[in-house]
Structure 1
Amino acid sequence: MEEVLWIVRTGSPWRDLPALFGNWSTAFRRFSDWCTADVFKRIFDALSGDPDMEYAMVDATIVKIHRHGQGAKGGLRAKP
């Protein structure tokens, strides 16, 4: 799985896979087999099942706004 994530993250071709991941051909063959068997779709479906949104709420007391968004005075002023 780390091999696939490295390829996706860097956008490199399979032949540039670092040696610490093993042979690039073996990693690509495993990736290809997993695509054929819909392994990645099943992983995505399992992880995106019923999300618990309790901890995804944004409270306005912790969100900082730029001073212009707060109604602060600023900008160019015309002088008579």
Structure 2
Amino acid sequence: MRRHELSDLAWKLVEPHTLGRPGTGGGTGRDNRLFVNAVLYRVRTGISWRDLP
């Protein structure tokens, strides 16, 4: 696990709240954990969105 990523336990708590609803507008996302980790990395470091690794 990298420094700014969610632990498995934290992801287990967050995951049910990240699932899209089939049949509604928008995508459901292929890898929601990757997106949540990117948001947390951005918030913790203050990096701009275009500079995300």
Q: TM-score range by the shorter chain?
A: 0.3 to 0.5
More helix by share: 1
TM-score, structure 1 length as denominator?
A: 0.26
Structure whose alpha-carbon radius of gyration is higher: 1
TM-score, structure 2 length as denominator?
A: 0.36
| Higher RCO (Cα < 8 Å, 6 or more apart) | 2
